[in-house]
Amino acid sequence: MKAQLLTLAALGSAFFSSTLFARPEGPPPPPDPEAVVVEMFTDYDVDENNSLNQEELIAAFVGIREKHMAARQGDRPRMGRKGPEGEESTDRPRKGKRRGPPAPEELAPKLIEDFDASGDGELNTEELLQALQKMHERGGRRGPGKPESDDAA
């Protein structure tokens, strides 16, 4: 009887500790495109003309990325990683390939080129929302992003 009780206690303890240290699988879902557009125009439309030029887009992408990285920093385990405390940076791409989303300096002009329907060199709320929705559909993966034309029939 004591052996069964000890076994049960050990199994319960193991189960509890494994669930205590369990982490959710995979990265968090991407933010809602509409919420991102509101944040970008609220915080980064410096000239308040209801459109974002290339410089404002770059500043917005950098600011939002830094904010989200800072919020996630506490969730990341440091086990076996070298970073600010070690010799190697964790930001280096492996095998010569860049990881993660494109740099803001690459992304901003590409979005303007692909989604600036008005041709003014800036993205208004509708154009930016369309761009971010397309990115959201791709899940952050790189790929063709140009909007589909309605007159291509």
Distance CA 8, CA 3 (A): 9
**Is residue 69 a contact partner of residue 31, using CB atoms and an 8 Å limit?**
no
d(CA 17, CA 5): 18
Q: Which residues, at least 6 apart from 43, have a Cβ–Cβ distance to it below 8 Å? A: 60, 63
pTM above 0.85, yes or no: no
* Architecture label for domain 31-74+102-139: Orthogonal Bundle (1.10)
Domain positions in the chain: 31-74+102-139
Going residue by residue through the chain (153 aa), what tens digit of pLDDT does each one get?
677 766 766 666 666 555 556 555 666 677 889 999 999 999 999 999 999 999 999 999 999 989 888 877 765 655 555 555 555 555 555 555 656 778 999 999 999 999 999 999 999 999 999 999 998 887 655 554 455 554 444
Distance of CA 50 to CAs 58, 106, 112, Å?
16, 22, 15
The span from the CA of 117 to the CA of 140, in Å, is: 22
